[in-house]
A and B are shown apart, each in its own frame.
Chain A
Amino acid sequence: MSNNNKENKNLKDDSKAYEFDEDMDNKDHTPTKARDGFDFDDNQHTSESRELDMSVKADLPHGVMGHGASDMKNLPKSKPGWRILFEEVISDKLALFSLIILVIITSYVFGLTMFLNHSEIVKVDLFAINQPPNDTFRLGTDYGGRDIFGQLIIGTRNSLAIGALVTILSVGFGIVYGVVSGYFGGHIDNAMMRVVDFFMVLPFLMIIVVFVTIVPSYDIWTFSLIMAAFLWTGTARLIRSVAMQERELDYVNASRTLGSSHIKIIFKQVMPNLVGLIIVNGTLSLAANIGIESGLSFIGFGFPETTPSLGTLMAYAIQTQTLQNRWWIWAPAAILILVLMLCVRNIGEALRRAGDARQRNA
C-alpha cells in the first residue's frame, strides 16, 4: 500500500502545480477554454464569454461563497438556441422578405375581416352577377353577384386559420406520439408504429371526403380535426426517429439516475433538443396543409360557398366559362395560394438550413 500511496502523492503534487498554473491563467485573463487542447467553440462565442468571464472575476474572486442576489443576476448568460435560429432566418434575405410579406398578408387579412360584413359578402345579388372588376367591386363578382375581393380576404383568413389549426393539431399530436414511441422503444414502439403504418396506407383524401359528407354538421373545428386525424403520421415518424437517437445519449440515462420521471425526461430533457426540428416540420406542414385545404375545397369537399376559402374561389374555375373568361374570380386566389405557400416554405427552408448549420458547428 505504501508504494501506492507514494505514487499518489507524487501525482498530487504534480497537479498542485498544474492547478496553480490554472490560477495564473485566470489572473492573466487568458481564456479558461481549450486548456486541454479541445477546440469546441466558434470565435464569436469565446470572445464574448471571455469578456463576461473577466467582468465577473473582477468583482467575484474565484472561490468566494455567499454571493448576494444582485451578483447572481449579473452572471453572464448565453443566447438560447431558438434565438440563434431566429437570427439566422433574419439574416437570410429571402426568408426575411417572405416573413415580412407573410406578416403583412396575415395582419391585413385578419385586421380587415373585423370590419367586413360577412353576411353582406356572401349574400346573393342577382343584379350584379359575374361583373368584372369595377369601382363598387374591386375584384368583380361571382355568378351569385358576391364580391370577390371580400371573399378573397375572408377566404385567405379562413385558409390561414384552418392551415394553422390543422398544423397545431396534427403536429402537436404527432410530436407527442412520436416522442413517446421513440423514447420507450421496444414493444410499445412496435405497436405504435404499426398504427402509423396503417394510417399511412389509407387513402386519406378520399376518407376525408367521406367524413365531410357523413358528418352532420361540420365547421372549422370538425373539419380541422378530420384533416389532422390523417396528417399527423409524417411528424410522428420523423420525431420518433430522432427521439430514438436522443434516447441513446447519456444525458437521458443521467436524468434517470438523478431521479427524473419519464414524463419529465421526455418533456423537459428530450423535447428541447427537438425544438428546431419541430419548428421546421411545423412550417413545412403549414404550407402543405394550406395546399390540402384549398384542394379539398376546390373539389367541393372542404368549406361550402357560404364560408369562402381560397379553395372555394378556385372551385369556380371548374366551370369552363369562369376559367376562360372570368379570371378575376380565381386568379387572385391562385396567386395568393402560391404566394402563401412560397413564403411559408421559404421560412421553413431557412429554418432548416439554420438548424443544419448549427449542428455542423456544434
Chain B
Amino acid sequence: MSNLLEIKDLKVHYPIRGGFFNTVKDHVKAVDGVSLNIPEGTTYGLVGESGSGKTTTGKAVIGLNHITEGEILFNGKTISGNGKSVKNSKEIQMIFQDPYSSLNVRKRVFDIVAEPIKNYHKRTKDELIAEVLGLLQKVGLPPGSLYKYPHEFSGGQRQRIGVARAIALNPKLIIADEPVSALDVSVQAQVLNFMQDIQEEMNLTMLFIAHDLGVVRHMCQHIGIMYQGRLVEEGTAEEIFNNPQHLYTKRLIAAIPDTDVDKIDENLNIRQSVKEQYNEHFHEYLDEDGRALPLVDITSTHKAALPAKG
C-alpha cells in the first residue's frame, strides 16, 4: 500500500505582534515539526487536546493555513511550497467540525451540494439536480431535502449535508475535523458508521481529527497523538491502545469512559495512578522549552517521544 498523503516536518508558526510599532515579538508554534504518512484507503486519527495543533495540521493540508516550513506530498507529488499555503484541489476535501456555521444559512441544500460541482464541471441544471439527488441518497437524506434551507435540519442531518458536499467531487482524501464533536452523543455513532460506509464504498483515505480517543478507536487504522504542536506517539490503533508508551497517551486512554458498571472502582484506581504518574514524571517527557521530545522508533510502525533511558 502506497502512502496517499505524506507530511514531512510540517511547521505552522504565527507571529505575535505587539508594542508601539506593531513589530513581530515572538511566534506561536501551532504546529512544530509534524511528520506522518497515510496509506491509501486507510484512516489516520489525529488526537490531541484543543490547541494541540491537530486542526491546524488538517487545515494546512487542505490549504486553509499557510505553511511556515516542511513539505506535504499528495500521491507522491509535492503540493506545498515553503511559506505558502497548499492550493485547493478537488482531490482533497474537508468535513467541518461545526455543522451549523459550515453550511451557509442563506443557501438551499441544492446550492450547497452543487457548489463544488459547479466549480469544477460544466453541467446542465437537470444533470446537476440528478447528481445532487444521487449524493443526498448516498448520505441518507430524502430527495425532499433538495430545496430546503439548513436551519430546517437537525445537527446530524446537517453533518450529512456536509459529507455530501465533501464527496461531491469524488475526492481521494477527506479531512474530517472533529465531525461528530458538535453532535449529540446519540447521533455520533450513527454519523460515524455512515462515514465508514461511505469510506469503504468510495475507497476514501481519511485524516480523522478528534479530541477523543474513544471515537477514533472505531474509525482508524493508525493513530497519532499530538501535544502542543508536536506528535508524542504514533502507531497502529492496536499498538496505541494495547501498548501505549507515552505518559500523555496513557492518560488519554485512561480518560475514556467505560460503561462497565462493575469496573467503576477499578477504572477509578487506574485513572488515579496514571494521574499521579503524570504529575510526577511528565516533565521528563519534555525538553527545556516545554516541548515534546523527538520521536523514537519502538517497532517499525510504533513511535513515541520518550526520554532517553539512563
Contacts and interface: CB of A to CB of B under 8 A. Distances in A.
- Chain A in direct contact with chain B (Cβ < 8 angstroms): yes
Interface of A: 1, 3-4, 7-8, 11-12, 14-15, 18-19, 26, 32-38, 40-41, 45-46, 49, 52-53, 56-57, 60, 62-63, 65-67, 69, 71-72, 75-78, 81, 249-251, 253-260, 264, 269, 272-273, 275, 362
B153 A33 contact: yes
A271 to B, nearest CB: 9
B18 interface: no
Greatest chain A CB density within 10 A among B59, B106, B217 is at: B106
Interface residues of B, number: 64
Interface string B33-66: 0000000000000000000000000010011100
A67 B104 contact: no
A11 B194 CA distance: 11
B218 A67 contact: no
B101 interface: yes
B290 interface: no
A249 B126 contact: no
Contacts of B143: 56, 60, 67, 71, 75
Given A72-B129, A251-B104, 20 more contacts: A4-B237, A14-B189, A19-B190, A35-B154, A36-B155, A37-B186, A40-B151, A49-B152, A62-B142, A67-B130, A69-B126, A71-B143, A72-B126, A75-B143, A75-B147, A249-B101, A253-B102, A254-B96, A254-B103, A257-B93
30 contacts: A4-B238, A7-B218, A11-B218, A12-B193, A15-B190, A15-B193, A18-B190, A19-B140, A26-B142, A36-B154, A36-B184, A36-B186, A37-B184, A40-B152, A40-B154, A53-B144, A57-B142, A60-B144, A75-B146, A77-B108, A78-B108, A249-B101, A253-B64, A257-B62, A257-B63, A258-B119, A259-B88, A260-B119, A264-B119, A275-B106
Interface of B: 59, 62-64, 88, 90, 92-94, 96-98, 101-108, 115-116, 119-120, 126, 129-130, 133-134, 137, 140, 142-144, 146-149, 151-157, 162, 165, 169, 183-184, 186-187, 189-190, 192-194, 196, 217-218, 236-238, 241
Contacts of B106: 81, 272-273, 275
Contacts of B120: 259
Contacts of B133: 65, 67, 72
A45 B104 contact: no
Given A40-B151, A362-B151, A257 B218 contact: no
Nearest to B96: A250
Contacts of A19: 140, 190
Given A32-B157, A67-B130, A57 B144 contact: yes
B147 A76 contact: yes
Given A67-B143, A259-B116, A250 B130 contact: no
B165 A258 contact: yes
B238 A3 contact: yes
B301 to A, nearest CB: 12
Contacts of B107: 269, 272
Contact of B189 (A4, A11, A26): A11
Contacts of B115: 255, 258, 260
Contacts of A1: 236-238
Nearest to B148: A78
B145 to A, nearest CB: 9
B144 A76 contact: yes
Contacts of B184: 36-38
B260 to A, nearest CB: 14
Contacts of A35: 154, 156, 187
A60 B142 CA distance: 9
Contacts of B148: 49, 76-78
A33 B154 contact: yes
Contacts of A362: 105, 151
The 3 A-B residue pairs whose C-beta atoms are closest, nearest first, are A250-B102, A272-B106, A258-B116
A75 B144 contact: yes
A223 B131 CA distance: 52
Nearest to A260: B119
A76 B151 CA distance: 15
